Chain A
Amino acid sequence: MSILRRRTALAAGASLLLPLALAGCGDNSAGGDAKKVRMLVNLTDNLNQAYWEKLVSPFEKSTGIDVQIEGPTGKSVAETFPQQLAAGTAPDVIQSIYPDANTAPELLDLSDLDWVDGTPMVDTYSLDGKRYVVGVGSQAQSLVFYNKTAFDKAGIDKTPTTWKEFTDALGRLDDAGYTPMQTAGQYMTGLQLQQLFHPALNTSHPKWQTAVTKEELNIGDAYQPMFQHYADWLKAGYFAKDDVGLDPSTADGNFVAGKVGVYPNGSWFLASLDAAGKLPFEVGVFSPPVDDGQSYPGPQGATMADPYMIWEGSGNVDGAKQLVKYLATDKTAIETQLRADGIFRQGTDLEQSPLATEVQAIVDKAPELVSVGEGAGDNRLPVTGFNPKFTEIVQSLYTSRTPEQAARAIDQWVSENR
């Protein structure tokens, strides 16, 4: 019986290692089928299988190429693509992720294709001058949605442009009986702080990710002023300490229910607001504040929306190129994608909601669209995994750390992982 138990123990433990071994096996050859293109996409509530099939349907009819839509087999496309590469079953076209130093050798360089010129943010995401990804538009990251009715009741007659005005507005919303600011747990905690700080940070430290890589700037020093704002607001009760355990969709629901004054979020939140139907209050949106003396509005954090890449080992490179060209340049395909997910693209005359028009105006007025988080293209931090770690550290402001300790913690992590 003891021997049996020893074997059981070993077998159970060794099962942890199976995925690791499988990661190393696999034939990397691709079988080509000129009439079929496989596309790996992100599946969400609104970007579901039916949406993707409808999107590519005109392409299939005009070219006779069958587009096979595939969702992630793991948690996400980012997790699934490397697994499929290792197994030799990578798709022809990959949607929703961006190239980096690890993936670039596996991707087709699209620099020679004429139609790639002028697609949104294409050069922001280029690596060593090579374009591996094309997108359909951009998503604005640094937005503050607000309850106009709450602002009226609190006697706030203009949206804040500096941190002092913003803090003052939070105080007035608190006095008026609203939750001044809504924050949330999971990935949202770090994201919201970054969203609020992009304009000020990129004004004081342009291309801050590159400055950190060149060891000209510490992330802790750069972010400590924003950590201090958060600590002050938390101490004043302008957002709840318990938010750190709150599901992001519940946070969305709190804003939609009209209990909240301001809610930092990205342009994709427009889709949630549209889905909520007619609200009992009016929603507005403004660009986050900047430091005293900085010009307002500051640079807008943005990401390429609906990015498409082609696997270099694809057995049907021509079909994959045709599909990506269609998705990134065809008027109907662009409009379908812009409508679906709160995406913006200059030069389109798409009819949109008044709130989306306000977001478009913020994007147009921004002096620059800047890359966020870990960075994009060649403007990158020297570490991977920045966003989850940053979220962890911002969460510690809610639970235990001072702004100074949080700043040193992020610097320590960078030095350990650089």
Chain B
Amino acid sequence: MTRKAWAGRRGRSQAATRAGMVVPAVMIYVGLLVVPVGYAVYYSLTDYNGFPSQTPEFTGLDNYREVFSSTDITAAMVVTGIVAAAGAALVNVAALGLALLLRQTNRFNTFGRIVMFYPHVLSALVVGFLWQALLGPQGVVNAMMEKAGASSLPFLSDETWALWTMIFVIAWALFGVQLVIYLAGLQTISPDLVEAARIDGAGRWQVFRAVTWPSLAPTVTVAIITSCLSLLKTYDVVVSLTGGGPAGSTKTLAYNILAVSFPERRVGLASAQAVVLVVAAAVLAFTVLALRRRAEEGAESVG
């Protein structure tokens, strides 16, 4: 056999090996990502009740027109936006603050990390029911306030209070993951840099501003994006804490898709809302990435 033929056979063998490793991953990617997205986009252009007896009827962009003209759906979009923005701010500030407090490794901090991560282990539904029992009109907190002679607070019975209560509960359940992300990020900061800053006379705040914060830039980006995406999909806590009420004031877009449009068997409309949500998630993620690029470049120069 010639040298050229050997090289050809070896090349084909290597290509087959590479294909053998890549194809399963591609199949999983296509099956779990491309196909669902494709179906959702297709259904979003149809009138379909999800039953085998009905053939999806092509209706063009009607479902998208309804998404942006329906009072209910646009209200749910606004609530989702508030939950994502305020929730992400709350989660990240709380997680970063606690990570700075718990960054040193000792027994107390290890215990503290476990306690702070614990809410995330609970199912979101359980979290909602738990806080319902605590903050409901006859819940533990209001009962204690009344015993102390104070008037009760409308945590779940006033539209504005209920929305902010829900954001607080979601942040409580979510921030454990962000805490771990920030703790991991803090471990990557070189102690030499911190020490050098201190030798130069920098105080705690100056060390944080000039060294810690710039070095954490990539971590902050990941933490913001992951928390925003989780918050955009808020559903379970709505179901168990408020049921979307009072008066629809805590209905998120994901809740509207799963608890309103699907039970009404409006698969086309539900799909259109889901597509809008995915596009919004992508736009948000890429916007955060773009806005954070300069900060991340700064981090590289610090590192």
**Considering the chains assembled together, what is the distance between the CA atoms of A241 and B159 in angstroms?**
12
**Considering the chains assembled together, what is the distance between the CA atoms of A46 and B271 in angstroms?**
37
A245 lies within 8 A of B265 (CB): no
Asked if B222 is an interface residue, CB under 8 A from chain A, the answer is yes
Nearest Cβ in chain A — how far from B269, in angstroms? Answer: 10
Asked if A113 is an interface residue, CB under 8 A from chain B, the answer is no
Tell me which residues across on chain A come within 8 A of B266, comparing CB atoms: 384
Classify chain A's interface size: 35 or more
A245 lies within 8 A of B154 (CB): yes
Question: Could you tell me which residues of chain B, from 114 to 171, have a CB within 8 Å of some CB in chain A?
Answer: 132, 136-138, 152, 154-159, 162
- What are the interface flags for A15-51 relative to B under an 8 Å C-beta threshold, 1 for contact and 0 otherwise? 0111011111110100000000000000000000000
Tell me which residues across on chain B come within 8 A of A399, comparing CB atoms: 157-159, 246-247, 249
Nearest Cβ in chain B — how far from A190, in angstroms? Answer: 10
A392 lies within 8 A of B245 (CB): yes
Q: Which residue, B157, B232, B266, B285, has most C-beta atoms of chain A within 10 A?
A: B157
B277 lies within 8 A of A85 (CB): no
Tell me which residues across on chain B come within 8 A of A400, comparing CB atoms: 159, 247
Asked if B203 is an interface residue, CB under 8 A from chain A, the answer is no
Question: Could you tell me which residues of chain B, from 182 to 233, have a CB within 8 Å of some CB in chain A?
Answer: 218, 221-222, 225-226, 229-230, 232-233
Asked if A69 is an interface residue, CB under 8 A from chain B, the answer is no
A398 lies within 8 A of B289 (CB): no
Asked if B85 is an interface residue, CB under 8 A from chain A, the answer is no
Of B33, B72, B157, B218, which contacts A245 at CB under 8 A? B157
Nearest Cβ in chain A — how far from B259, in angstroms? Answer: 8
B51 lies within 8 A of A82 (CB): yes
B39 lies within 8 A of A21 (CB): yes
**Considering the chains assembled together, what is the distance between the CA atoms of A105 and B249 in angstroms?**
36
**Considering the chains assembled together, what is the distance between the CA atoms of A9 and B157 in angstroms?**
35
Question: Could you tell me which residues of chain B, from 9 to 26, have a CB within 8 Å of some CB in chain A?
Answer: none
**Considering the chains assembled together, what is the distance between the CA atoms of A178 and B155 in angstroms?**
24
**Considering the chains assembled together, what is the distance between the CA atoms of A393 and B75 in angstroms?**
14
Tell me which residues across on chain B come within 8 A of A247, comparing CB atoms: 132, 136
**Considering the chains assembled together, what is the distance between the CA atoms of A4 and B128 in angstroms?**
32
A-B residue pairs, 8 tightest by C-beta = A245-B157, A245-B156, A9-B285, A21-B36, A21-B39, A242-B137, A13-B281, A396-B247
B positions within 8 Å CB-CB of A: 32-33, 35-40, 43, 49-54, 69-72, 132, 136-138, 152, 154-159, 162, 218, 221-222, 225-226, 229-230, 232-233, 242-249, 254, 257, 260, 262-267, 270-271, 274-275, 277-278, 281-282, 285-286, 289
